[in-house]
Structure 1
């Protein structure tokens, strides 16, 4: 009976009023609304990855400024707010302007303006987009006697697809700059301005005249403004966890652990609570399956191409130490792929060194890690995804039985069937191939692990065993194990609490597969 009364999960629904009126699950973020609208500032910008709740939060602000007090009954803000003033709200959804040219973009902006001009009127002679926005703001102010609220969701959507196109980017950017230009001149008529996006605005020069925007993206008080914290999940969605656990035959704690491994791990400042991906978590509760939802909802083709352009190996995607200026930077000017990875949600903050003001960035969770590795298989292993999936499953079965010999036999047979690809005549290629495959197995894997006497090619840790692996090309597996012994690599890991196994692997550059291997228990 209890399970039948659970609220539905609003997967893909981004309108606050619809969620409340139709009794969907709503993770209460209204404390952030109150803090923001009662702060000292007037102009704000928030950056978060796609499908992370930016649009829902913007919609919540819209309902608040429209004075719709009834929608907030029982939420945190209902006990904080004493005045519910209705303001004229201009809401611009720029997500509609993806994959457009200049004429289409101007037409779409004009259409959105026209909807509000029907309500508030339009000054004679206001024909250009910027003049029409200026006119609209002034007319709304004069008609209502109240200052105007401007909300722009996904302001950068028209630019993302042309971020690195020398011709199209400046053209579309000029359209956007001219459109937003009146915001500064209209300051006396504005109550509140809020913009969301993925990329940062200041360096894009779209808001070059509006130099008083407060970027709250990395402000600690707003760390959980989007996404779902573990406390919110356990406190507000526990019934869904119980239902999911029952359907999957798991205990409550096992279900939480699997959800955490798959969807948790995001931080957009430091310190910060752990943030779950809201789209994936709600999808899992809605479909009662723990699968990859967020990664599968967007094709990272452009990302993969940028990784190749900057020469980033699969193992180099995470474990990045960087200053905020390196990842909180515009993607159009980037000289590394770090900013794109961070702003797109493929890496996130994992630690902070206050002394040197540097951040540790890494892949947030298994959904992103496995999704990325699946996307990289065609570039490093094979374009036959069905064959790759079958191989990974067979290798996983062997690894979980502690059958390293069987796993390597499976790998050798698989590589023998892979068509020739470039860059296989060096040891590092096979190191990356193993890293991708082991990551797809969901097993902790690291490469080039430092020890007092050198670096271990690969360290792989299962629940029962830690493997220390050394790779050779056109030599012998015996040589590989001898190097492990000579440099005493296993002593670096004696405190791990697991049995340590040495694995030497030799690859044949002519056959492009595993030639031989040697496995020894320490």
Structure 2
């Protein structure tokens, strides 16, 4: 354990490998994806390792073979060709206004132009992106790899404000060269929390391959049950000793608290990696996901449409199109709740093609009830004892009628 370091908050693959952090090897997925030139999209909740995945892709396409020693891809990749990489990340800023989005786009494009040695050729971000892609291809003689992280954040930050539509239109324009420059692009990978309708954002990029619910990529982010035992047995043993529990009891408690995410049906459950690492670091079963901040997207949605709370507790039946795509013009909040990580797939009726969605684990269920419902539902302490504790008890006992009555009374 002395030389083992947990990569809490580390999103750069080179830093992770250089400082000997534990790495759950996802490189076989990257190799499989890289074998094609299809543009890909992946939706996952926050704190699920999307940024680290893209960073790993970046160093792979830059041909940094030494960073991948001992990993699956070392023996799978024979050529290690270096490609020009254009990486765009919206995760580090806030985009509450259109001017802020324009400012960040200008800064990002300035950095990329400096990196490749190009001059700014326009004030229009879309024109600059197109010039960047074409010029990088001409300068290196190789097609360009484009990695876009948290593509939807400028929209989500401005949700339900006057700037939402402005930011959406700006991004639609900014992303438009991705279709026109297809001949110059070797690989395109886009991540986000939500899958906003492509009609609104990726106009013309209809061939985008969404792998969010694809069985073969269900564990591309997060830590699967088999990976937990393969990579973290020393941490499990230390946690068990600290909590005065057996190994099996500790594993069961970990599963109860942080496991349970299923991004399609009939697949191995996935642990939230951030919460798992924090638990191992603190040697305590805390509620780390909520402590790191409640997603503004979910808060804004609940504020805008609170009555829909009654439709998501104790299991929700839904068809794929009801939770897969988020339409900003729709009043359906289910995609927001699911894609934010508060619900996950628990069952699937093959004959009817109907999914059952529910809370993935105890941490999320308790957090949703104790934090979000307390924030948005005022429960009266009257003669009937309609307290928040009663609501927790009702859900614990799967007493749906009682839970609904409490919520309806509070928001009436």
The question of a shared fold, defined as TM-score above 0.5 by the shorter chain, is answered with yes
How far is the alpha carbon of 1:128 from its aligned partner? 1.5
How far is the alpha carbon of 1:433 from its aligned partner? 5.5
Total equivalences in the alignment? 405
Which residue is equivalent to 1:101?
A: 97
Aligned equivalents of 2:120, 2:260: Cα separation in 1:
53
Which residue is equivalent to 2:29?
A: 32
8 Å contact from structure 2 (residues 314, 398) kept in 1 = no
Q: 2:187 aligns with which of 189, 192, 198?
A: 192
1:446 pairs with 2:402 = no
How far is the alpha carbon of 1:92 from its aligned partner? 0.6
1:150 pairs with 2:146 = yes
Relative to structure 1, is the Cα distance of residues 109 and 95 closer, same or farther in structure 2, using a 3 angstrom cutoff? same
- Listed as ranges, the matches of 1:139-178 within 5 Å are 139-165=135-161, 167-178=162-173
1:211 pairs with 2:206 = yes
Aligned equivalents of 1:305, 1:259: Cα separation in 2:
30
Aligned equivalents of 1:124, 1:25: Cα separation in 2:
41
Q: CA RMSD in A?
A: 2.5
Q: State the secondary structure of the residue aligned to 1:140.
A: helix
Moved over 6 A (4+): none
How far is the alpha carbon of 1:431 from its aligned partner? 9.1
Aligned equivalents of 2:73, 2:302: Cα separation in 1:
44
Relative to structure 1, is the Cα distance of residues 129 and 113 closer, same or farther in structure 2, using a 3 angstrom cutoff? same
Q: State the secondary structure of the residue aligned to 1:436.
A: helix
Which residue is equivalent to 1:358?
A: 354
Deviations 1:65-124 (A, max 9, x none): 000000011001111111100000011111123234222211211111112212324367
Unaligned runs of 5+ in 1: 383-414, 450-456, 459-470, 472-508, 513-522
- Higher relative contact order at CA 8 Å, sep ≥6: structure 1 or structure 2? 2
Relative to structure 1, is the Cα distance of residues 341 and 179 closer, same or farther in structure 2, using a 3 angstrom cutoff? same
8 Å contact from structure 2 (residues 196, 327) kept in 1 = no
1:257 pairs with 2:255 = no
Unaligned runs of 5+ in 2: none
- Listed as ranges, the matches of 1:116-131 within 5 Å are 116-122=112-118, 125-131=121-127
Which residue is equivalent to 1:488?
A: none
Aligned equivalents of 1:345, 1:127: Cα separation in 2:
38
Which residue is equivalent to 1:297?
A: 292
Which residue is equivalent to 2:391?
A: 435
Which residue is equivalent to 1:369?
A: 365
1:343 pairs with 2:295 = no
Higher mean Cα deviation, 142-151 or 300-309? Answer: 300-309
1:18 pairs with 2:15 = yes
How far is the alpha carbon of 1:305 from its aligned partner? 6.1
Deviations 1:116-168 (A, max 9, x none): 21232436743311111111111111111111011010001111122233x21
Q: State the secondary structure of the residue aligned to 1:97.
A: coil
Pair member with larger Rg: 1
